[in-house]
Structure 1
Amino acid sequence: MLAELADPAAITGDSPLERLEDAAARHSRLAAILEARGDRRGLFSVGLDAGEQAAVLPMQRDHEQFVDARWAGELSLDLLERYLANLHARVTGGVVEPQWARFFDLAEDCSASPARAAMAGYNAHLTVDLARAVAAAGTRDAHVPDFFRIVDAIAVRGDLIIDRTRSAYGADLGPLWRGYVVGPALDSIVGEGVATTALLRFADMGYNSLTLAHGLALQEPMLAADAERRIAGLWQVADDVLAGLAMAGGM
């Protein structure tokens, strides 16, 4: 059942919005199954589902929200499909991309805190997949306002993601999403003031601006290789900070 629901090849629809609706419905069923089983691979899915249902889908259904509604649908669809493809690979023994292998490894390791595992999923989603989705959707300067409308809509509904993850798995993402304990915990790892800003950028427009810039650069042949290196480097920095925060008892 998991393999069938996660298979991107099974998604149907005649438009990006129809395909997004189908993909989101499949993912919602998948998230519910993982939650019901207590399967920690759902640590990311339950929060993603909350964001999709409360923020992404309502916005995508209202075409007047966007300068280019078709582009917006393609971006959201591509982003969701990337996660589904990696989950499908994980449950069928296929090749999983490194950023998602990190998440699944932590999710399947009961010694890792559920919050740590969940945040590894958001690191993969926001740092790597979102940049690649920006490129795949053919993003241009005219799409920038629509990009920020989407990411801002998700940020505004962050409490739903926090509440759903806590309810399903007892994982408290609140400190990281809201930032009210991030500073002291990070300072205890690397020294006062050194890394606090780096992790706070994970949830604000500054971080999303980096992701957008990386996605735009991926579309330029002369810049693509460097953009891939920057994406990998940013993902690694965030992963290292999250690991240090977990060791310091901050999550």
Structure 2
Amino acid sequence: MRTRRSPAPLIVVLGALLTVVAPGPAQADAPRSVSTACGSPLSANEVDRVLELADTSTMPGSGLDRFEAAVERHREITDILVAHRDRRGLFSLGLNAVEHEAVLPLQRDPAALPDRRWSPAISYDLLARYLRNVHAEFSGTATDPAWANYFAMTRQCSLSPARVAMAGYNAHLTVDLAHAVATSGTTTDNVPDYYEIVDSIAVRGGSIVTLSKDLYGADLGPLWRFYFVGEGLDRLAGNSEPSKLLLRAADSGYNTITLANGFALQDPRTAQPADQEIDGLWRATDGALQTLSDIGGL
């Protein structure tokens, strides 16, 4: 029998960071452009191709086949964005790396993830939420609030690329993962596999660090080197007041809070409070990241 792993290192680091609350998400005044975000402009054909690839209504297959198709579509989107150094590719770059290096190999191994219905479903649901927001961004329609924050930052060329990238990881880990837990029908039986998946992503952080720095000049290394446990937290001390919500995330491990929020979303009696907690958590996370950026930590 497999036992639950400890919370993933990356998530624990984020949890430690979140022992403070800073001002809310950065406000973006830059005009919205579908064709470019601080890189060279995409052609009209490339914009159309991104829209086609991000359209989850045309995703073929089911189960693992559907997830693999989504990963391949996202890879092509990533290639287009990175070729232009379009900052909307900052998050896609890291996500694409861990999908290929960590998640796909794990999903293809029945011994690692024996529930062949649930395991590809949660990975697909998580990726599909991002693809739907990419489609909304490139079609000029409304994106989810956390992703609207990320995409707005990608058009603020004076921002640190690491700051921008972390806005994407915040949306992915805080909001989308909780909703994927809910929509994939996660049960308590799936908890060990949930930790197996998030742990596999965390231990592949080196690829995210290397690619982000090489291609965008974004230094995310401190997160994976436990920068925030020690000097990083010291630099934030005194900038804001503690939050009970974020202190709980730090104590329990961020991925554990996300799992609990996902379970709460499944129950109509607790869904609304869970949604409010998720919304408050990503905003507080973003505020803490902004404070760290302001004092030169990102």
2:38 corresponds to which residue?
none
Deviation at 1:247, TM superposition (A): 0.2
Contact kept, 8 Å, 2:249 with 2:257, in 1: the verdict is no
Instruction: Work out whether 1:43 is the aligned partner of 2:87.
Output: no
User: What is the aligned counterpart of 2:56 among 1, 5, 8?
Assistant: 8
Instruction: Work out whether 1:85 is the aligned partner of 2:132.
Output: yes
Q: How does 1:172-191 map to 2 (within 5 A)?
A: 172-180=219-227, 183-191=230-238
Structure 1 length as normaliser, TM-score?
0.93
Deviation at 1:193, TM superposition (A): 11
Q: Which range is displaced more, 85-94 or 204-213? A: 204-213
Q: How does 1:88-99 map to 2 (within 5 A)?
A: 88-99=135-146
Distance across 2 between alignment mates of 1:161 and 1:215? 26
Q: Which range is displaced more, 207-216 or 177-186? A: 177-186
Q: Residue 277 of structure 2 aligns to which amino acid in structure 1?
A: R
Q: Residue 51 of structure 2 aligns to which amino acid in structure 1?
A: A
Q: How does 1:43-192 map to 2 (within 5 A)?
A: 43-180=90-227, 183-191=230-238
Distance across 1 between alignment mates of 2:114 and 2:240? 39
Q: What SS does structure 1 have at the residue aligned with 2:253?
A: helix
Contact kept, 8 Å, 1:106 with 1:112, in 2: the verdict is yes
Relative to structure 1, the CA distance from residue 185 to residue 46 in structure 2 (aligned partners, 3 Å threshold; closer, same or farther) is same
Q: Residue 53 of structure 1 aligns to which amino acid in structure 2?
A: H
Deviation at 1:192, TM superposition (A): 9.2
Deviation at 1:187, TM superposition (A): 3.0
Deviation at 1:182, TM superposition (A): 5.7
Unaligned runs of 5+ in 1: none
Contact kept, 8 Å, 1:35 with 1:42, in 2: the verdict is yes
Deviation at 1:190, TM superposition (A): 3.5
Deviation at 1:99, TM superposition (A): 0.3
Deviation at 1:95, TM superposition (A): 1.3
Deviations, residues 201-246 of structure 1 (Å, cap 9, x unaligned): 9899710000000000101111111111111111111111000000
Distance across 2 between alignment mates of 1:135 and 1:170? 35
Contact kept, 8 Å, 1:59 with 1:65, in 2: the verdict is yes
Q: What SS does structure 1 have at the residue aligned with 2:235?
A: helix
Q: What SS does structure 2 have at the residue aligned with 1:90?
A: helix
Deviation at 1:67, TM superposition (A): 3.5
Contact kept, 8 Å, 1:132 with 1:218, in 2: the verdict is yes
Q: Residue 135 of structure 1 aligns to which amino acid in structure 2?
A: A
User: What is the aligned counterpart of 1:23 among 23, 46, 70?
Assistant: 70
Aligned positions, number: 248
Unaligned runs of 5+ in 2: 1-48
Deviations, residues 95-141 of structure 1 (Å, cap 9, x unaligned): 10100000001111101110000000000000000000000011110
Q: Which range is displaced more, 172-181 or 58-67? A: 172-181
The share of aligned pairs that are identical, in percent, is 53
Deviations, residues 137-195 of structure 1 (Å, cap 9, x unaligned): 11110000010000000111111111111122110111123222564344333339987
Instruction: Work out whether 1:224 is the aligned partner of 2:267.
Output: no
Q: Residue 79 of structure 2 aligns to which amino acid in structure 1?
A: A
Relative to structure 1, the CA distance from residue 204 to residue 124 in structure 2 (aligned partners, 3 Å threshold; closer, same or farther) is farther
More helix by share: 1
**Higher relative CO (CA 8 A, sep ≥ 6), structure 1 or 2?**
2
Calculate the aligned-residue CA RMSD, in Å.
2.3
